[in-house]
Chains A and B, each alone.
Chain A
């Protein structure tokens, strides 16, 4: 441990972090405000618990800063399997809240291991990629890494908490940065696009669109490189149609009605402001009614009236939109961009591959949460119940993201030192 770490810490990043968590506390306070609230340290209330977890997170954070960076690389695999064990343990000891067995209840405090699994998975992937024989071009490495991501993903899907599981897609970002074939980018984007195209249009039309798009791509590539052959495109076509088929199949047979409804609402296929569309509609009303300046702290009528369900957790952004208006929302988006940019910038400066991949993973995870959560609150993405990092109520979430950021801070501070 180096005592001079204080001088090498990125205080700017810490400042951004502190602003975000404080803003989070303020908005959780407002979203859960009632006359009976005794103060922010009343741990029987949401905001008290949140403050408690924040203090605990800062404490853990300081310990992390004091640990030698080397430790995390050595600990990565063990930590990963420990968190898998915790995920497994849920099937036996887990507490079920609104249908999902995602929590451990320890002395009245709920812990969500899937949040922690994000950190350990980020570490283990960084560790795997930094092994000198690993190469993302080889199927062996790809398969191995795929398995490491898929394992927690599946365990979380089985809870079932598909929203949290989906976040593991964030690991695409560090992998792509480290040389994952462009094909996977195309697949990644195609899967997303196809998913929505399939659900938005009639099946026959979908096939037409796919065929047109693929031939368009073929001719573009043909122009760029006359030696391009047609058969990879034909394979791609068949896979696309097959995928589209399976999306339809999954949508109709695997998804539950509430999932289908959520997606249909965003696609505009259904207009339902009282049933399933209620959350999104109320969130939009809350945000829209905030106007430029917002209604002011504790003045949000939508927030006070509890019109937006889960407003202190997944829909916290609607409180910000209503009470702090465009200024506050813009400020928050700006802060997130700043945070992600800074983390990525610092990751790029790392000469050590382990640390770079880890930091990149952190950036990717924060971005994914940011994108899905705010997109959902603004009614642009189907309801996927994941928290807004640092802001939403949830002890495990704030703890996990704090650990993630503090490990990054440790790595960044020790960039030039050891090794």
Chain B
């Protein structure tokens, strides 16, 4: 009997074992499904071309250009002249060999990246000779292109994502691009669009053999958006030219809209430096330059004392608080004693009597010290209250805090309040005389150029400003941001007198050089003391030259703040530069060629080298 049933029994037993095995493999274990997907499905991303950036007049600022990456499929490479190839690629022979070796370890069947971002010119040479190198081919990709070298700090740049970026946002994959700094960073989502995904079925050599499940899981590409900025390309360019060989910043704003017309930071750099193969090398060079700090946006990040332009705000506050009227006048004796033995100098002639208007156009320290003390002392002995009233008025001009504009960097600046002085001098340990430097925009005050331009715009608007911003529109009109008026705490009736004073500054005061035929310019110069630690010793450097202005006086089109570091007095550099900018913007051309030449050719490089010369030097010469 055993003999008869042996084979059927063995067959049945095997069948049971097989079915058991099938149950364990197919029904109880789900890991094989995942393994087969990993095996057989490949995900390819399709990246939309990065959006273009235009200026307010639809002039192109940033576009893309094709570059070529040299790729290689190791299994197709046959013996070749490494020396010649390395020569036409402009890489070393060793580097080339290393790249091919690592490509081989990655995969012999799949294309690997050998040399990236080959320029158009070099590409032409390579195209001609590539037939000699089987296994190598060129693959097109695209990088940023800057038709004009302009506004590098404002625009930012594009580079490959790093580990941090990928950790922060799981959208990014290795080798993808991300905007860095400026507009590229802030409006990354508009500019990059949204990549699409395509799933392919691959074979065991990782070769694509067709779409996976007829594209059921594919994600369509969402196109990138083009951006139109508020920047005026011509004005921006002119500003950068004017600040050549100088350090400083220019911020110009259209007062009615809050649109930033130009944001200049000097020294800047050529945005093309951060494109292509030399990017990381160049970036390091820029980042290591601690003297010129080309990556530091002076228009947004530099905090200076506001200097004399700040007097206009003190005048407005005094009027609003009712501590003076238009006729309130003070006698200036080349300055005045504000406390026993404490004398504040002024450049007014002996015996000058200044009211509000002349106080502004003569920039009289005595006048402003007095009205400032009236503000602080308005509540009698309670200086704290006066200090905080003053502080709140300034805050309503957007000082002492971020302005909320659409760029990733900025500084708050600083406006002291009662708590601050209570901390430093103890409660009751300070009086209005203690803090009198604030009257003339020195002391503890810190502002950034964009804050200066912004309060200038608020004055131009007679009492309100609109948050400064850089984006005008997006190509598909998806931007529906409405910027609201921000009212200052000063009633509009008080502005006219101050504006008259600012007009006089240009007409007959400290900035006659800024006068433009046919345009009523209102401005205020400033000369700011500044210090630097040299070998641990606080050393005074040549004053900063600053100027704020808006024009025309009625229906202003532009408000501007100019800082020229160590430019000595306001009328020397900042006022002419601001005036030229205004003329350029309003008239489109410059009539005062002599002034333009002086500004374009003027250089402060010698001044900047003084502190580093290691020798004693003279300032304000």
Contact = CB atoms under 8 A, between A and B. Distances in A.
A306 B27 contact: no
A210 interface: no
B23 A326 contact: yes
Given A285-B35, A288-B33, A306-B204, A330 B4 contact: no
Contacts of A302: 36, 39-40
B12 interface: yes
B36 A337 contact: no
B59 interface: no
Given A284-B32, A302-B36, A341-B11, A375 B18 contact: yes
Interface residues of B, number: 36
B37 interface: yes
B21 interface: yes
Nearest to A325: B26
B346 to A, nearest CB: 86
Contacts, number: 121
Interface in A322-379: 322, 325-326, 329-330, 333-334, 336-337, 340-341, 344, 348, 360, 363-364, 367, 370-371, 374-375, 378
A378 B25 contact: yes
A287 interface: yes
B209 A340 contact: no
A374 B18 contact: yes
Contacts of A94: none
A215 interface: no
A140 interface: no
A360 B10 CA distance: 14
A305 interface: yes
B232 to A, nearest CB: 57
B168 interface: no
Interface in A287-342: 287-292, 301-302, 304-307, 321-322, 325-326, 329-330, 333-334, 336-337, 340-341
A305 B32 contact: no
A321 B33 CA distance: 12
Contact of A333 (B7, B19, B212): B19
B36 A289 contact: yes
B4 A348 contact: yes
Interface stretch (A40-48, A105-113, A172-180): A172-180
A337 to B, nearest CB: 5
Interface string A160-185: 00000000000001001111000001
A321 B18 CA distance: 12
A334 B11 CA distance: 11
B494 interface: no
A288 B31 contact: yes
A398 interface: no
A302 B203 CA distance: 8
A292 B203 contact: no
B22 interface: yes
A287 B22 contact: yes
A291 B41 CA distance: 18
A407 interface: no
B19 A330 contact: yes
Interface string B26-48: 11010111011101110000000
B204 A305 contact: yes
Contact of A285 (B14, B18, B36): B36
Nearest to B213: A299
B202 A305 contact: yes
Contacts of A151: none
B6 interface: yes
A364 B7 contact: yes
Given A301-B36, A302-B36, A307-B204, A173 B6 contact: yes
Given A287-B22, A378-B18, A367 B10 contact: yes
Contacts of A285: 32, 35-36, 39
A360 B36 CA distance: 41
Given A288-B25, A289-B32, A375-B18, 12 more contacts: A177-B7, A179-B3, A282-B39, A287-B26, A288-B29, A288-B35, A289-B35, A292-B27, A301-B201, A302-B40, A321-B25, A378-B21
22 contacts: A173-B7, A185-B6, A282-B39, A285-B39, A287-B26, A288-B31, A301-B212, A304-B201, A304-B209, A305-B204, A307-B204, A321-B26, A330-B22, A333-B15, A344-B7, A344-B8, A360-B7, A367-B7, A370-B14, A378-B21, A378-B22, A378-B25
